Chain A
């Protein structure tokens, strides 16, 4: 296997609450009168290890709010972890020289989940996409226009609209502006955070085909965050399943879809909606959804797990190998 380009070791991320003045005051008063302060710290990511080898596509899947984007941001170097190390090509990113650090930032690009928030509303598309390659010397000034047109076209955007502002585009067009911007700086590693979620299937196919071409031609590496299991299965070599801040299962793509081990993964795969079901009755979630503010003890999945045993609410199951290259964190695997 190729050497890892990105490695996360023992990563945790916690977000403290931020109080406005009024909330700080009531909190202060409550404490003075002997009420224990309410803990509102969000444990977004809790002890995650992850390696991505050069040229690999790793899919990251899990429930909304489980910490996928937070991992993505730490991989892209936009957000420091509370605990643990992020390594870029084997080196801890906090020990890099400023120059090497800038280079790493450029080489690892992120396509953001929220195309609106991530595009400067006062910049024209031409500058959003073209500025960074120019500033970083990837292209000369006289190449700007042709380079820009090529980048836009590749992402399925009409270059004649390059003088427009983001609000003049549709949702899916904006998402493609984000894709063009990330690809324009010629990254080695791409964090795709729900990067094709707003695209119709035909344009989505066009973008996914582009991703696969870039991988073949340039050895581009991907961390592919998506809720769409069909897309993840199609694209990924390896898949990691996350639940409430932790990785609960990881394996090669074929393996995980054919033999899901963790009860959460099994539940997830059982619910995939199909284009051939008609007018079905959707069902509400059974049991309470656990919260990262107050995660359940032991296995985080135990309040919803159909196989939960007494042990599950006490002891955290470790992520361990159950077959070559297949890891799962469930106590059921300890039983004969």
Chain B
């Protein structure tokens, strides 16, 4: 059986006046039915742009510069705008990092949710309202009936995030891309939402791409993990393989920075140096200037290599397990 989504050698570039920003540059991964892929990586490494590319929302000066996005075997990059829009409403959903990309600030929540329900299901307004209310309840919003009457600005930051999640869950999508959906949520509400999402994956077979910087969420949720750095996937593998035995030096440094692994009040460990500018990446490995394992070999482009079954790294000198 083919994967729900297979991304092959995706390149998404922004052709800005200052130069070409290679936000996504040769990214490949796949997610199967009911599977959760955790997409982690440095801020600015191309996670959101990868998500936007899949659902066809890249605006000029950005465009797909190569690769394939196969959804159930069909290349999304070749679809017409109309077919893509249809798919986006029904089978593929994205929870945006910015909830206001989903929500309209001047419309009441009920108006927005009822409209979404009715756009895809032949139901009465009362039925659509009831579904909307239940969806709000499902993401832990108290007094959902009263809250349907509110405007987005009357919600707290985390509540807005949750409304956006509720909207994405309205039609049981086959593929859900969630971009930092629970960043500002406390552990209890987060667990509530993750429970709903797990249910969606098991009961409905939804394939999930979960983008987050929160490694503890990924640890509990993901089957597989892909790690991005400067537009590339630098490591992939099963969740345990990547978290317990990170092999790429970037992943290794990332996991060492988790506060609970550092002592209270002491300086937190951070990866030395700064993120290279995507406009002027050094030739060879993009992590080279910050990597303690770097050698002369690293001025060449490191290939993706299999370290263990199902575990890959893009590095000449992987950290020993």
Separation in Å of the A253 CB from the closest CB of chain B? 8
* Docked pose: A171 CA to B146 CA in angstroms: 31
**Which residue in A171, A205, A276, A290 is a CB contact (below 8 Å) of B269?**
A205
* Docked pose: A273 CA to B40 CA in angstroms: 17
Query: B277 touching A160 by the CB < 8 A rule?
Result: yes
Cβ < 8 Å to A, chain B residues 31-64? 40-44, 47-49
Q: Known: A64-B189, A279-B220, A285-B140. Contact between A200 and B265, CB under 8 A?
A: no
Query: A274 touching B219 by the CB < 8 A rule?
Result: yes
Query: B192 touching A284 by the CB < 8 A rule?
Result: yes
Query: A38 touching B146 by the CB < 8 A rule?
Result: yes
Separation in Å of the A242 CB from the closest CB of chain B? 10
The answer to whether the Cβ of A209 comes within 8 Å of any Cβ in the partner chain is: yes
Residues on the B chain within 8 Å of A293, using CB: 142-143, 146-147
**Which residue in A20, A64, A204, A283 is a CB contact (below 8 Å) of B213?**
A204
The answer to whether the Cβ of A294 comes within 8 Å of any Cβ in the partner chain is: yes
**Which residue in A117, A176, A205, A292 is a CB contact (below 8 Å) of B270?**
A205
Query: A205 touching B191 by the CB < 8 A rule?
Result: no
Residues on the A chain within 8 Å of B221, using CB: 279, 282
Residues on the B chain within 8 Å of A272, using CB: 187, 216
- Range, interface on chain B: 35 or more
Residues on the A chain within 8 Å of B257, using CB: 201-202, 204-205
* Docked pose: A274 CA to B215 CA in angstroms: 8
* Docked pose: A199 CA to B187 CA in angstroms: 18
Query: A197 touching B219 by the CB < 8 A rule?
Result: no
Separation in Å of the A160 CB from the closest CB of chain B? 6
The answer to whether the Cβ of B171 comes within 8 Å of any Cβ in the partner chain is: no
Query: A201 touching B43 by the CB < 8 A rule?
Result: no
Q: Known: A38-B146, A171-B43, A294-B143. Contact between A227 and B187, CB under 8 A?
A: yes
The answer to whether the Cβ of B130 comes within 8 Å of any Cβ in the partner chain is: no
**Which residue in B41, B142, B162, B186 is a CB contact (below 8 Å) of A290?**
B142
Residues on the A chain within 8 Å of B149, using CB: 17, 23, 40
How many residues of chain A get a CB closer than 8 Å to chain B's CBs? 81
Residues on the B chain within 8 Å of A194, using CB: 157, 183-184
* Docked pose: A253 CA to B277 CA in angstroms: 38
Separation in Å of the B188 CB from the closest CB of chain A? 6
The answer to whether the Cβ of A91 comes within 8 Å of any Cβ in the partner chain is: no
* Docked pose: A227 CA to B216 CA in angstroms: 13
Separation in Å of the B106 CB from the closest CB of chain A? 10
The answer to whether the Cβ of B28 comes within 8 Å of any Cβ in the partner chain is: no
Query: A202 touching B18 by the CB < 8 A rule?
Result: no
Bits for B251-288, please: 1 = Cβ < 8 Å to A, else 0.
00111011111101101111100110101000000000
Query: A234 touching B264 by the CB < 8 A rule?
Result: yes
Nearest residue, chain B, Cβ from A163 = B18
* Docked pose: A38 CA to B219 CA in angstroms: 44
Nearest residue, chain B, Cβ from A254 = B264
Residues on the B chain within 8 Å of A273, using CB: 187, 190-191, 216-217, 219-220
Residues on the B chain within 8 Å of A271, using CB: 187-188, 191
* Docked pose: A291 CA to B144 CA in angstroms: 9
Of all A-B residue pairs in the complex, the 5 with the closest CB atoms, nearest first, are A172-B43, A64-B158, A291-B142, A205-B268, A282-B194
CB pairs A–B below 8 angstroms (24 shown): A18-B154, A65-B142, A114-B157, A156-B274, A161-B277, A170-B47, A171-B98, A171-B179, A193-B157, A199-B43, A199-B213, A201-B254, A203-B42, A203-B270, A227-B184, A254-B264, A274-B260, A276-B243, A279-B221, A279-B223, A282-B192, A283-B195, A290-B142, A293-B146
Listed in ascending order, the chain B residues whose CB lies under 8 Å from chain A are: 14, 16, 18, 40-44, 47-49, 97-98, 100, 108, 140-143, 146-147, 149-151, 154-160, 162, 179-180, 183-192, 194-196, 198, 213, 215-217, 219-223, 239-240, 243, 253-255, 257-262, 264-265, 267-271, 274-275, 277, 279
